[in-house]
Structure 1
């Protein structure tokens, strides 16, 4: 093949050789034909080879002529052949299009056949299922009626049967969960189960006894909806909801009745709920403790709820206590303390939380009353005039006196305060404050009450000092003298009287019984003693040197000046009598003729009685009193805040009967003498402050060391009392 190509390259030039292949294609010749022809040429001789060109030309001309002749002779055939060829081509195109359409139709037919096959299969399956359902109609009807039956049981309260149906449907769903009918039935039954759950919880929101609660909680456990901790929470939440609804039904118009009803319902219902909880959810069973989650403290749920309920009760109590009247406060306190004590049976004694609430209410009321008294004193001082006192002169005899012992002995107030009307009003206000305080006086308020009283009295002293600073320029000699007497009255009788009320309100015996300290230790600490220097500091520059303790002051602190009322009398009197009748005080201060004549007559009678009695001896020294070594020889009643026995305070008009004690004669009997107001005013001038203060402290210590007893009515009793003081 390579030799033939080389030969052709020798025969033809370079460009002709490249075009040789294209020419072969035009002549419909192949390389083999050319090679054969070349071999033939190679076999020819030189002569024949020279004539080969002519032969080829002649042969070409002959072929062309034959072809033309053939075309001329057979042209109809050529035309017919061309037409047939055209028709065949067109028919082939139509066949091609029909074939394509047939192919597309066969695809659609295949899809339809597949769809028909599937439909036929489903129809066959449905027919088979329908036949099977017809044969199992009874069983299927029972399954289909399960949701309706479940709903009927739940709505009629047949919870046991409802739980059995729910359990049966749950087993069916686990076994035949691939069947849509079973799944739908299970869903409807679950809806009824939720309704049953809400009904069971609603049962716990109604009044229920322990057996019913046990049954309901048992159903909740069988339902398996909640864990054990969640069941405990749901139980407490439901019972708490019912408890709150009962509290909301209590009328709130009367705070006292609201508190009592709240205490009663809380004590009964909370104890019932706690008992039910502890009976249902036991935390002491070893089996329960073994199955308990170590990461969960189930017992904390119960105690957290108890703490929350106690907190709610204390908040309600704190809201209503300020609205309760002082006379009802003690009753409320007793009910609340009993409530706290009853809770101790379930380990939740909260009595210690009640004391601060009541103490705060009592103290707030005392502060309000004390501040009101101070404001009234300031108003009275703003309109006070010493000219009215000067117009009365010395005809009036006012003195602190102790009446003879009677069946209804009372704590009497110094009637000399009537001469200084603002002091009388201040005394009235403070007595009213003590009236409210005595209804329920906690021991822990001793210091607060004393400090508050000291501050109020100091403010009153400042008011007096301001009054003197503003009016001193217009004072006459008589007015200056009367003002000095008023200051002495404020410093002596008024201060001693307030101190006496404090000693009665918070007696050392009572404090000793509550705290464990001895009365002597309490007296040494001066727990119930007013700080006189602090109170009188604003007017200290106006006071002369303090007078010695007078005989009326001695009578002020002797035990004979106090006496407990009988229980019947205490119940009949709801509050301490007002110390001053405002109408009497107004007539005394404003009228100059009629009241002056009345007081003059009383003064004359007082002078007549004085002439028949011996003069009161002066006392220069007094023996010291050893309070701690003193022993009590009598069984004395205790004055407690919860006692129903009250002390009455009132003013008595008339001459004062006081006890005269002779320290130099140990066996001498004290005399009861009547002294005039002038003699009283002369005696303090002869005694000094250094003598009076130790005696006052000794008498106060002796008084607070002994409880309230009946005053001596015979010379023997007076002598015995005198020996105790000595």
Structure 2
């Protein structure tokens, strides 16, 4: 609309154009027509419009009168249409209110259809892959069969495959079920492998089992070593516990311990390598700690069982077994022979001490029953200085002869394996025993001194003389046969003077006969404490030229007549490799015993005691 038309509208309608005219399509055309009229025409325009209005009204009335029925029908139709429109509007509103719900249900249906379609596709795919799925579902059963059949390689492969499936499809229930069942078979396999380690395994089989356990990746390296040692220790303990208690218990224990400890050590070193280049490598301490524990347990068992062994042959055999045992473990760096030497030393000392105490007690009892009136002064030829035969004069005095036999029996037991470390303690035991015997003679004499006849007094003197001049020197000679002074000096790294000063292997005759010194005949003078003796010879040469003094002259004869160092080996051949501090000496000559008939006047009975003339050399 141009500017002139707008100005015209403002003039005609100062209050603004009515709304119904704004929407009328004829208003702009009529407004343009008004603008084209002349003044006269414009003045006549209102009259013309009034005439047109009256004409239209008249025509309308005529039309209404002529067609009133039509108008009535039209009105009724309009009213009916209006009502229908109202109903349609209400239905439309209801429809519009239910459209969102319908839309939601359509969407739900669409989604359900999609799910159903997906399941259908999955079912179709499952059907097409049924063979492969069946193979997957049979994996747990297949692994169980492999484990039960001992096919561990195949079981490991199946387990690795299942672990890959778990990493990729852990959310699938079927896969989770397969993994669970496979892990159960995996645990059974682990227990089977550990159970095999608790049995008697050769080295190749043991390495195979350890390799399988490593591939299972269940244990760390330290845990793997611990599990291995625990399992093998269980096997070792079961074998040792199966040994019946009895005479052969210790021998079997040594043999089985040697076999199995060496086998376990070899298996461990083959299966686990200790890398010295690793700065934080502490795994090696596990094996050494376990081995130390086993050795400590064995030594404790050895010490407990040795106390119950009285047979010399058994002790010597067990000593040989133990040295061989220690030598076997030395090949794997666990030589413990030095630990066993003190155990045998204590046992040998205990056995010797028990024998000597028993012999001393028996001598005291025999002296209490002895009749001194029956002894005569029969002379007997002196024993050869180089002979180990006991003096014949001892046969007059049965208690003294039996006492000598008991001590010589202890010597014959000791000579097979005499520790150098026991030279001093054995000397002290003999010194104390002989002193007690001397005191026993004195006690018996004092009890019946006033009642003794002259012949009984002479019998006491002869007994004391035989004890001092024959019995004690012979015991000293035998003791030097076990522990020659030059051999002790060579082994202990001391000079013979120090050996003599410390009294190692030398009895003090003066102290022994001191209680009965006043009972000796007047013409028999107790030997002096110190007398010069000949120089000891070693390998045919003199020593450093110093004069040696021993406790009495009889000891001098015993020393001069004792076996030379070249005749008595320091240690038997079977002990040469021993690393213990307590090495042993072995006398190759046994000590002869007395053949004596014992008479007990108080009990009016006699017992003939016959000792073996030569004790069997057990080293052979």
Asked if structure 2 preserves the Cα contact closer than 8 Å seen for 1:329 and 1:439, the reply is no
Paired residue for 1:328, among 310, 314, 323?
314
Match 1:535 to one of 477, 493, 512: 512
Alignment of 1:200 with 2:193, yes or no, is yes
Partner secondary structure for residue 346 of structure 1: coil
Summarize deviations over 1:636-691 as a string: whole Å, max 9, x none: 412446347222324599xxxxxxxxxxxxxxxxxxxxxxxxxxxxxxxxxxxxxx
The residue that corresponds to 1:476 in the other structure is 453
What SS does the aligned partner of 1:226 have?
Answer: coil
Conserved 8 A contact 1:438-1:505: yes
Deviation at 1:303, TM superposition (A): 0.4
Shift of 1:192: 0.3
Alignment of 1:353 with 2:339, yes or no, is yes
Distance apart, 1:514 and its partner CA: 2.4
Does 2:568 match 1:638? yes
1:400 to 1:644, Cα distance in 2 relative to 1, 3 A: closer
- Taking a change above 3 Å as real, the CA distance of residues 534 and 519 of structure 1, as seen in their structure-2 partners, is closer
Contact 1:398 1:415 (8 Å CA) reproduced: yes
Of 297, 305, 324, the residue aligned with 2:290 is 305
Shift of 1:421: 2.6
Counterpart check, 1:267 vs 2:255: no
Please give the alpha-carbon distance, in whole angstroms, between the structure 2 residues aligned to 1:515 and 1:625: 19
Give the drift of 1:253.
Answer: 3.6
Does residue 1:647 correspond to 2:590, yes or no?
Answer: yes
Following the alignment from structure 1 to structure 2, what is the Cα–Cα distance between the partners of residues 318 and 646? 29
Please, which runs of 5 or more residues in structure 2 have no aligned partner? 1-104, 537-544, 550-558, 573-585, 597-620
**Aligned equivalent of 1:445:** 422
Shift of 1:445: 0.6
Instruction: Give the deviation of 1:131 after TM superposition.
Output: 5.0
**Cα distance per residue 1:96-137 (max 9 Å; x no partner):** xxxxxxxxxxxxxxxxx9xx99xx899959964655543432
TM value normalised by structure 2: 0.65
Aligned match of 2:324: 338
In structure 1, stretches of 5+ residues that fail to align are: 1-112, 404-408, 560-623, 654-726
The answer on whether the counterparts of 1:412 and 1:652 sit within 8 Å (CA) in structure 2 is no
1:239, 1:273 within 8 Å by CA — same for their partners in 2? yes
Answer yes or no: is the 8 Å Cα contact 1:377–1:422 preserved in 2.
yes
Instruction: Tell me what 1:169 maps to.
Output: 162
Q: 1:489: how far off?
A: 2.3
Task: Tell me, yes or no, if the aligned pair for 1:341 and 1:351 is still in contact at 8 Å.
Answer: yes
Question: Cα RMSD between the aligned structures?
Answer: 3.7
Contact 1:420–1:486 (8 Å) recurs in 2: yes
CA contact (8 A) 2:486 2:565 kept: no
| Equivalence for 1:607 | none
By how many angstroms is 1:282 displaced?
0.8
- Distance in 2 between residues matched to 1:459 and 1:638, nearest whole Å: 31
Shift of 1:231: 0.7
Structure 2 match to 1:491: 468
User: In the alignment, does 2:351 pair up with 1:365?
Assistant: yes
- Structure 1 CA distance, aligned partners of 2:301 and 2:565? 42
Match of 2:380 in 1: 398
User: Structure 1 residue aligned with 2:204, among 205, 211, 230?
Assistant: 211
How far, CA to CA, are the matches of 1:558 and 1:326 in structure 2? 36
Quote the Cα distance in structure 1 between the aligned partners of 2:137 and 2:265.
Answer: 44
The residue aligned with 1:626 is 547
CA shift, 1:453, in A, is 1.4
Paired residues of 1:318 and 1:357 also in contact (CA < 8 A): yes
User: Contact 2:439 / 2:515 at 8 angstroms: preserved in 1?
Assistant: yes
Q: Which residue of 2 aligns with 1:601?
A: none
Residue of structure 1 equivalent to 2:57: none
Change (3 A) 1:420 1:231: same
Deviations for 1:136-161, whole angstroms, at most 9, x for unmatched residues?
Answer: 32232122111001101111111111
User: SS of the counterpart of 1:352?
Assistant: helix
Q: Which residue of 1 aligns with 2:234?
A: 241
Distance 1:196 1:126 in 2: 40
- The secondary structure found in structure 2 opposite 1:323 is coil
* TM-superposition CA deviations, 1:374-423 (whole Å, max 9, x none): 1111211121122222xx4x4x22353229xxxxx851212222333322
Verify: 1:381 aligned to 2:367, yes or no: yes
Task: State how far apart, in whole Å, the 1-side matches of 2:372 and 2:114 are.
Answer: 122
Per-residue CA deviation, residues 256-314 of structure 1 (Å, 9 max, x unaligned), is: xx44444343333322321221122111264xx37xxx4x7211111011112212222
Call closer, same or farther: CA 1:499–1:334 in 2, change over 3 Å: same
Partners of 1:302 and 1:340 lie apart in 2 by 17
- Tell me, yes or no, if the aligned pair for 2:251 and 2:318 is still in contact at 8 Å: yes
**TM-score between the two structures when normalised by the length of structure 1:** 0.56
- Which residue matches 1:620? none
Whole-angstrom CA distance in 2 between matches of 1:546 and 1:436: 38
- CA 1:170–1:652 in 2, change beyond 3 Å: closer, same or farther? closer
Residue of structure 1 aligned with 2:270, choices 240, 264, 279: 279
Contact 1:450 1:528 in 2 (8 A): yes
**Equivalents in 2 of 1:176, 1:193: separation in Å?**
20
| Partner Cα separation in structure 1 for residue 591 and residue 416 of structure 2 | 13
Asked if the contact 2:395–2:594 (Cα under 8 Å) also holds between the matched residues in 1, the reply is no
1:412 maps onto 2:353 in alignment:
no
Contact between 2:197 and 2:206, CA under 8 Å: does it hold in 1? yes
- Classify 1:476/1:492 alpha carbon distance in 2 versus 1 (closer, same or farther; 3 Å): same
1:363/1:445 contact within 8 Å kept: yes
* Partner secondary structure for residue 638 of structure 1: coil
State the 1:466 CA deviation: 1.7
Query: Offset at 1:190?
Result: 0.4
Task: Go from structure 1 to structure 2 and tell me whether the alpha carbon gap of 1:264 and 1:164 turns closer, same or farther (over 3 Å shift).
Answer: same
What SS is found at the alignment partner of 2:273? coil
Matching residue within 161, 176, 191 for 1:183: 176
Q: Is the 8 A contact 1:387 1:479 kept in 2?
A: yes
Distance 1:259 1:652, change over 3 A: closer
Q: Alpha-carbon deviation of 1:548?
A: 4.7
What's the offset of the Cα at 1:499?
1.1
Equivalent-residue separation in structure 1 for 2:223 and 2:437 (angstroms): 64
Q: Is the CA contact (8 Å cut-off) linking 1:401 and 1:652 kept in structure 2?
A: no
Is residue 250–residue 302 contact of structure 2 (8 Å, CA) maintained in 1? yes
Distance 2:232 2:360 in 1: 51
CA distance in 1, matches of 2:170, 2:438: 94
CA contact (8 A) 1:329 1:440 kept: no
2: CA distance between counterparts of 1:259 and 1:201? 29
Query: Number of paired residues?
Result: 452
The secondary structure found in structure 2 opposite 1:313 is helix
After TM superposition, give the deviation of residue 210 of structure 1 in Å.
3.0
